[in-house]
């Protein structure tokens, strides 16, 4: 059988693509995902059902990334239908209006500007709290904000500390002109309003009754099959058995790590690098995997007083956005992480097994986590080998730009002031791994930043949109891969530059936009 469309990856963009493209019942659509497929809310395991903590136990790719030299730690990515939208922290915010205007400039396509993107953001939302021009009602993804009464004491303390430090209060971070501290908008619903409402639950659930849509889990894609310059199918391991499947149109929505990896194994990427791995070049695209961007974050972890940390309670409820001394509007975010399990080699913390602390017991702490939203540094995703089961090499190079380091220092010093404020002091006995001497000394603070560097887990830009492959573009402004017919990439990897916000809602918006263009093209 030859499908009309095959979508690889059922995450924030891929689930939307499959749902929208299958609305035409004459079009056969196959959606493949490497992880399990939980078709209904009742089937969700506990670690996926609850929004209290991002799930990284049973449904994660197991990626490790080099954030700065010698700092290697996990980079969470969801491996199940729903992708990272099914395991993330559920933050339902968009980038700044200027981010999408920049996309329009970089791609040469005005349809990516804020004015044109806003209706698609509105269409995917069912905002329970806010109305007006910036919000949507009746869409597939519910959006709710925490009330003041719902805040856990430590989150309320953080909120009040931000206000005491002069930051504005806002109820709506999806108004593009707002800044300051807010109770976070989250995509949560379900019987107790604590289920993370993923792209699977929001989009695929309403499409699963269609006979023209097939969803298959446990299918790991090796490569795209290309004949005479056209994508014609995929080589896929389904439950461990390698098979080939044919499709008239192939859409990679495997995310900013796996989409470039699939392209590279398919011979689509920098020809010289592929030749060194013994891969024959199909399309010489130097930009594949070469502009990896993410939001660098350095959590300041605090040892809690009795009763402060409650792992069964929400991880996130409050968010501070502000403009750094050297940056653009809202170029910084600060979260209060309500509970963090500090373990050797974990995502958070300055100590590692090779520091001589391998016998150290895990402990529950909490943290104040500043992060740069418009970084200048960028890294890469490359192949370690041609083996499709081997994880790619991820190097984020968060230490490449001095302006990024300046903002991380500024964020760390703000986190220190907030932690030691009258409002926050009752909740902790002191920081885990930083003292006042370090805070006051740039060189020592840089060492601490290197030791604690992690990310907000928003990898993007590894297959960027743009008109010219010679300048690094991998796809055009409608997500078609340069030089290969019948092949698109639709996920966070095609962002031409990163946005100043969590990426989930933007990836769903991109799926909505490109599915519409693709459907018109196929009609």
**Can you tell me the mean pLDDT for 430-454?**
95
Catalytic residue among 155, 291, 339, 458: 458
191 vs 101 pLDDT, higher one: 101
Give φ, ψ of 78 to 5 degrees: -75, 135
Round the average pLDDT of the chain to a whole number and report it.
Answer: 95
What phi-psi label fits residue 443: left (phi over 0), alpha (psi between -120 and 50 degrees) or beta? alpha
What is the distance in angstroms between the CA of the first residue and the CA of the last residue of the chain? 21
Q: Which pair of tokens denotes residue 305?
A: 């007083």
Residue 342 is predicted with a pLDDT of: 87
DSSP state of 259: H
CB-based contact 223:425 (threshold 8 Å): no
pTM, full prediction: 0.96
Task: Name the band, by pLDDT with cuts 50, 70 and 90, for residue 352.
Answer: very low
49 vs 261 pLDDT, higher one: 261
Residue 470 is predicted with a pLDDT of: 97
**Can you tell me the mean pLDDT for 126-144?**
95
- Pairing between β-strand 241-252 and β-strand 428-431 as defined by DSSP bridges: unpaired
Q: Which CATH class is domain 2-42+199-292+462-522?
A: alpha beta
CB-based contact 196:190 (threshold 8 Å): no
Residue 295 is predicted with a pLDDT of: 98
- The per-residue pLDDT for range 79-99, each reduced to its tens digit, is 999 999 999 999 999 999 999
Nearest-5° angle of CA 104, CA 107, CA 111? 45
CB-based contact 145:317 (threshold 8 Å): no
Residue 54 is predicted with a pLDDT of: 67
Task: Name the band, by pLDDT with cuts 50, 70 and 90, for residue 353.
Answer: very low
- The per-residue pLDDT for range 470-507, each reduced to its tens digit, is 999 999 999 999 999 999 999 999 999 999 999 999 99
Q: Which of 91, 98, 141, 103 is nearest to 121 (CA)?
A: 141
- The per-residue pLDDT for range 297-319, each reduced to its tens digit, is 999 999 999 999 999 999 999 99
**In the predicted structure, residue 56 carries a pLDDT above the cut 70:** no
Residue 57 is predicted with a pLDDT of: 66
**In the predicted structure, residue 343 carries a pLDDT above the cut 90:** no
Handedness of CA 45, 47, 51, 55 (dihedral sign): negative
CB-based contact 223:266 (threshold 8 Å): yes
- The per-residue pLDDT for range 190-230, each reduced to its tens digit, is 989 999 999 999 999 999 999 999 999 999 999 999 999 99
**In the predicted structure, residue 440 carries a pLDDT above the cut 90:** yes
Residues ≥6 apart with Cβ < 8 Å to 124: 16, 136, 139, 140, 141, 202, 505, 508, 509, 512
Nearest-angstrom CA–CA distance, 184 and 147 = 9
DSSP state of 360: P
Residue 358 is predicted with a pLDDT of: 55
**Can you tell me the mean pLDDT for 15-43?**
97
Residue 41 is predicted with a pLDDT of: 93
Q: Express as a percent the part of the chain with pLDDT over 70.
A: 97
- The per-residue pLDDT for range 384-410, each reduced to its tens digit, is 999 999 999 999 999 899 999 999 999
Burial 357-368 (b: 16+ CB within 10 A, else e): eeeeeeeebbbb
DSSP string, 57-79: SSSB---EEEEETTEEEE---B-
Residue 360 is predicted with a pLDDT of: 66
Residue 50 is predicted with a pLDDT of: 86
**In the predicted structure, residue 350 carries a pLDDT above the cut 60:** no
CB atoms within 10 A of CB 84: 29
Lowest model confidence (mean pLDDT) among 47-61, 177-191, 376-390: 47-61
CB-based contact 166:172 (threshold 8 Å): no
Whether 458 is catalytic is yes
Residue 244 is predicted with a pLDDT of: 98
């Amino acid at each position: 059988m030859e499908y009309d469309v095959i979508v690889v990856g059922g995450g924030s963009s891929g689930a939307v693509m499959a749902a929208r493209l299958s609305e035409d019942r004459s079009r056969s659509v196959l959606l493949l995902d490497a992880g399990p497929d939980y078709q209904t809310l009742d089937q969700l395991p506990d670690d996926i059902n609850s929004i209290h903590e991002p799930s990284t136990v049973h449904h994660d790719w197991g990626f490790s990334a080099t954030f700065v030299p010698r700092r290697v730690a996990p980079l969470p990515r969801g491996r199940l239908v729903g992708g990272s939208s099914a395991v993330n922290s559920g933050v339902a915010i968009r980038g700044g209006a200027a981010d999408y205007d920049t996309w329009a400039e970089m791609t040469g396509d005005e349809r990516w500007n804020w004015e044109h993107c806003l209706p698609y953001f509105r269409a995917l939302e069912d905002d329970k709290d806010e109305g007006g021009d910036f919000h949507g009602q009746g869409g597939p993804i519910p959006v709710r904000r925490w009330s003041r009464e719902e805040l856990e004491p430590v989150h309320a303390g953080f909120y009040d500390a931000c206000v005491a430090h002069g930051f504005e209060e806002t109820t709506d971070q999806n108004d593009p002109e707002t800044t300051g501290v807010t109770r976070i908008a989250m995509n949560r619903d379900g019987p107790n309003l604590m289920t993370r409402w993923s792209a699977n639950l929001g989009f695929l659930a309403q499409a699963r009754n269609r006979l023209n849509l097939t969803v298959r889990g446990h299918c790991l894609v090796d490569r795209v099959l290309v004949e005479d310059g056209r994508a014609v199918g995929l080589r896929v391991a389904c439950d461990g058995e390698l098979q080939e499947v044919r499709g008239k149109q192939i859409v990679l929505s495997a995310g900013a790590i796996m989409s470039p990896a699939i392209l590279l194994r398919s011979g689509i990427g920098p020809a010289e690098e592929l030749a060194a791995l013994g891969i024959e070049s199909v399309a010489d695209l130097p930009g594949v995997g070469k502009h990896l961007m993410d939001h660098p974050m350095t959590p300041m972890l605090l040892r809690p007083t009795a009763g402060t940390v409650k792992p069964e309670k929400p991880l996130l409820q409050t968010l501070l956005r502000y403009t750094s001394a050297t940056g653009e509007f809202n170029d910084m975010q600060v979260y209060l992480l309500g509970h963090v399990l500090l373990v050797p080699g974990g995502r958070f913390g300055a100590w590692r097994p090779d520091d001589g602390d391998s016998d150290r017991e895990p402990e529950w702490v909490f943290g104040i986590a500043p992060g740069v939203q418009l970084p200048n540094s960028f890294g890469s995703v490359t192949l370690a080998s041609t083996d499709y089961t081997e994880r790619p090499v991820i190097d984020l190079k968060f230490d490449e730009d001095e302006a990024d380091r300046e903002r991380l220092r500024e964020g760390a010093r703000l986190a220190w002031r907030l932690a030691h404020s009258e409002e926050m002091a009752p909740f902790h006995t002191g920081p885990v791994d930083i003292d006042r001497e370090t805070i006051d000394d740039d060189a020592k603070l840089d060492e601490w930043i290197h030791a604690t560097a992690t990310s907000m887990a928003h990898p993007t830009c590894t297959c960027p949109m743009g008109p010219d492959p010679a300048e690094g573009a991998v796809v055009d402004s409608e997500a078609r891969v340069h030089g290969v017919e019948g092949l698109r990439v639709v996920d966070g990897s095609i962002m031409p530059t990163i946005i100043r916000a969590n990426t989930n809602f933007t990836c769903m918006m991109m799926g909505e936009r490109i599915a519409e263009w693709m459907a018109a093209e196929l009609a």
